[in-house]
Amino acid sequence: MKSGGRPTRDDVAEYAQISGATVSRVLSGRTDLSISPETRAKVMEAVEKLGYRPNLSARALMTGKTGLVGLWMCLGYSRYRSQVLDQMRNVLASTDLTLAVTDVDEDYSVHHSFSRALRVPVDGIIAFDTSASGETFARNHDLLAPMTPFVSMGAYWSEAKSYVGVDLRAGADEAMAHLLSTGRKRIAYLAPSNSDTISSGARHDGYVAAMRAAGLPTQIVGVKTLSPDDMRRALTECGPMPEALLCMSDDVALCASFVLGQLGKQVGRDVALVGFDGIQETEMAPCPITTVEQPVADMCRLTWQFLQAQIEFPNTGLQQKVLKPKLVIRDSSRS
């Protein structure tokens, strides 16, 4: 046996006094091969004795498959993302593939993020809510991994790629229609100021369009981070308190809800609140929060279907589907 490193297949073979090929056969776990019980026993003993584990890279090199599905997402704190992670895990659980989650953060350059993510050797890629615009994303994917099966999932996509999208614009339209129907006029859009979503994207655009259509002035409020302090600053320095806030996410809405309480405002009466995502916590806020619920379960299931097809049949064409979110009205905006 080699002195220093990990034992190899041939170390096992030597120890067991048989050929390397046979070791492979035993360890392959295939049922269509027949192996004598004694040989099998010898191999297993040697494996145990030597603490042998197959080298995954070598195996992948031979088979051309790693058995991994890459999930690309921003690992920054977000309850919605955490929920998607949970769901994706459930979907993959019944499979013989393994989920490998990789950080793709908008803070780094897209290219830098990608080259990192691509260091994980996967059979297919799911890119979730990578907020780099869909097109930039598609171009980078072409550049960096043209042959790898790929599906983007969530709010952003490119028509050049397969995707399962969520029509947040429809969600924003519905939310705004609802908000306006309650008679409120001074409605602001609230989002993290360091994010793209504050000045563009389906939610922002839906808000602006609805306000314009109603002949009302728009007001964009940016919040630096989702800390109570920054939220308080944002909410007090933006002028007179708006009658309603369309929040970019439920995380934003929940933080706003807390700060409004501190400021002596009553959510639902003094200020209406609508969030996006549909995370569980909106239900458990002091005043339950209206939200545009994302179809997380369907989204994950369908995405996996798409990707699986691409992995199994490399010639699969583009698969594209847009899902509709669902407005869930609660006390924060009812009256």
Partner DNA sequence: TTGTACGCGTTATCAG
Partner DNA sequence: CTGATAACGCGTACAA
Among 2, 93, 183, 264, binds DNA (CB under 7 A): 2
Whichever of 1 and 213 has its CB closer to DNA, that residue is: 1
**Sheet with 244-247: strands ordered across:** 220-223, 187-192, 244-247, 272-277, 290-293, 326-328
Our measurement of the distance from residue 69's CA atom to the centroid of its chain's CA atoms, rounded to an integer in Å, reads: 13
Residues 224-253 that bind its own copies (CB under 8 A): 227-228
Residue from 19, 30, 45, 98 in contact with its own copies (CB under 8 A): 98
Q: How far apart are CA 87 and CA 258, in angstroms?
A: 28
**Of 247, 148, 234, 253, nearest to 188 (Cα)?**
247
> Which x/- pattern over 133-172 shows residues binding its own copies (rule: CB under 8 A)?
---------x-xxxx-------------------------
Please name every residue paired with 221 in a beta bridge, in sequence order, or none if there are none: 190
Query: Which SS3 state, helix, strand or coil, does residue 292 take?
Result: strand
Binding test (CB under 8 A) with its own copies, winner from 46, 85, 127, 190: 85
How many whole angstroms separate alpha carbon 314 and alpha carbon 308?
A: 10
115 near 87, Cβ under 8 Å? Answer: no
Range 53-82, binding its own copies (CB under 8 A): 53, 55-58, 60-61, 64, 66-68, 75-79, 81-82
Q: Which residues contact 47 (CB under 8 A, 6 or more apart)?
A: 12, 23, 27
Quick note: the x/- pattern for its own copies over 116-135, rule CB under 8 A, is xxxxxx--------------
Q: Is 2 in the site for its own copies (CB under 8 A)?
A: no
User: Of these, 58, 213, 214, 318, which contacts DNA (CB under 7 A)?
Assistant: 58
Exposure string of 196-205, with b = 16+ CB inside 10 Å and e = fewer, is ebbeebbbbe
Contact set with DNA (CB under 7 A): 2, 5-6, 8-10, 18-22, 24-25, 27-28, 33-36, 38-39, 52-55, 58-59, 61-63
Q: Which residues bind its own copies (CB under 8 A)?
A: 5-6, 51, 53, 55-58, 60-61, 64, 66-68, 75-79, 81-83, 85-86, 88-89, 92-93, 98-103, 105, 108, 116-121, 142, 144-147, 227-228, 254-255, 258, 261, 280-281, 283-284, 286
